[in-house]
Amino acid sequence: MLKNKNNSGVAMITAMMIVAIVSLITINLLWENTLNTRKTISNINRDQAIQVAIGVESWIKELLIQDAKTSESDHLGEFWARQLPNLPIDGGSIRAEIYDLQSNFNINNLVKQNGEIDQNQLEFFVRLLSNLNLNPIIANAIIDWIDSDQYTTYPDGAEDDIYMKLNPAYRTANQKMISISELLAISSINTEIYKVIEPYVTSIPEYSKINVNTASPLLLKSLDDGISDSQVKRLIEERRGTGYDDIAVTFKPILDSDNLLNVTNKTNYFQLKLLVNIDNISILMYSMIKREPQNSASTVYRSFGTI
């Protein structure tokens, strides 16, 4: 009788263990299925967000083309210069911002197509660095990063012999900057310096002029030697609304002939910053858009998450 009771107890414990194991397996399977389902939904939402972003990019290009047809200049009173409203979409929203890249100094202007240093642009950049209270010789290391040779620019230039001693080691790009974030790789530029420079520079792949209708007061002050704060204030007041009526009339008295060639009131290069939210997925996309003279626009490059 006692033996039967013992056998019954063992059988019950065994059954309970089997039920517990089956329950654990079932719970794990359900959890994995839930994770896989959520992962699939997230991937679908991400793909959808990317397609939405690319679609908005195409729409913005059309708007910029239409703007070129109806406007003789590009200024801060135009639609693209204002904060665009959030656009609702199914399951999320879109936020877009458009920047005039020619309102900033183009780092790639420092070196000409033939590999020589552009002295006029170097002087412009040195004035900008001085107005930012930064050491102007930073420009030499930037030139060495862009130019195609291995001859160090004096003083404080930096070619491969400097970077190959670092850990990890790397080489100079020896080509035009694709992204302004490349400045962080240059020997004489740390994070603090980069944060100071970044709002005032860009990396357009070809020579570009400064659009004085959109340039910051600091950029206007850096256009030439001896431009006073009062002149900058007058320039800002004069361009309110629709920009300058005639930039030659406005700037000829304060810029020498060479520096006058550096300014324009038209823009060919824009940056589009897009944030697309769908469910729990957020996609941040940056696009450089070039508006062509023949009433067309193209995407120069596109990046996700960072410039």
Is 1-112+200-307 assigned to CATH 3.30.1300.30? yes
* CB distance 139 to 111 below 8 Å: no
DSSP code string of 208-232: --EETTT--HHHHHTTSTT--HHHH
pLDDT confidence bin for 4, thresholds 50/70/90: low
Q: What is the C-alpha to C-alpha distance for residues 263 and 182, in angstroms, rounded to an integer?
A: 26
Mean local confidence (pLDDT), 215-241: 95
Strand partners, 96: 274
pLDDT confidence bin for 91, thresholds 50/70/90: confident
How many Å from the N-terminal Cα to the C-terminal Cα in the chain? Answer: 81
pLDDT tens digits, 23-58: 777 777 677 666 666 666 677 888 888 999 999 999
* CB distance 46 to 281 below 8 Å: yes
Helix (H, G, I), strand (E, B) or coil at 34: helix
pLDDT tens digits, 92-121: 899 999 999 999 999 999 999 999 999 999
pLDDT at position 84 is: 78
pLDDT at position 158 is: 93
**Domain ranges across the chain:** 1-112+200-307
pLDDT tens digits, 53-89: 999 999 999 999 999 998 889 999 998 988 778 888 8
pLDDT at position 19 is: 74
Q: What is the C-alpha to C-alpha distance for residues 57 and 67, in angstroms, rounded to an integer?
A: 15
Mean local confidence (pLDDT), 227-254: 93
- Least confident span in 53-57, 139-143, 303-307: 303-307
pLDDT greater than 70 at residue 162:
yes
Q: What is the C-alpha to C-alpha distance for residues 208 and 231, in angstroms, rounded to an integer?
A: 24
pLDDT tens digits, 256-284: 999 999 999 999 999 999 999 998 889 99
User: Quick one: which of 102, 99, 121 has its CA closest to 110?
Assistant: 121
pLDDT confidence bin for 14, thresholds 50/70/90: confident
- Least confident span in 41-50, 132-141, 206-215, 286-295: 41-50
The pTM for the full model equals 0.85
Which residue would you say has higher pLDDT here, 295 or 61? 61
Reading the block at residue 277, the tokens are 């939210």
Q: What is the C-alpha to C-alpha distance for residues 156 and 167, in angstroms, rounded to an integer?
A: 20
Mean local confidence (pLDDT), 153-174: 93
CA angle (175, 179, 181) in 5-degree steps? 115
- Least confident span in 32-36, 157-161, 203-207, 208-212: 32-36
Reading the block at residue 46, the tokens are 């991400």
pLDDT at position 294 is: 78
